[in-house]
Amino acid sequence: MASNAGIFFAGMGTTFIVLGAGFGGGLMMAKSALKEPVGYRNVASVPEPSSAVRIVLPSSAEAAQPTQPPPQIAAAPQPPSEIKPV
C-alpha cells in the first residue's frame, strides 16, 4: 500500500502541472491576441481627411409639445321636426 506522503505529493505535483498548463495556455493565447496582424492599420493613428464634415444639431430649448387630440367628428345634422309659420 502506498504511503500517505507519496499520495499527497503526487496530488500536489499533478495540481501544479495542471495549473501551469492552464496559465501557460492562457498566456500563449493572450500574446497571440495582442499582436497586430501584418498590414494592420490603426484607425486612431490615421489623421482624418480634410473633406470630412461634422454635423452638429442644435439642442431644443423648448419642451416637447403634447400631441393634439384628433378633432371631434360633428354629428350628422338632424332634419327639422316641424316648421312653424311666422
**Distance of CA 40 to CAs 5, 12, 30, Å?**
55, 45, 18
Residue 18 predicted with pLDDT over 90: yes
Residue 60 predicted with pLDDT over 90: no
Residue 35 predicted with pLDDT over 60: yes
Residue 27 predicted with pLDDT over 60: yes
Nearest C-alpha neighbor of 11 from the set 19, 69, 66: 19
Q: Can you tell me the mean pLDDT for 52-62?
A: 74
Name residue 14's amino acid: T
* Residue range 62-79, pLDDT digits in tens: 776 777 776 777 666 677
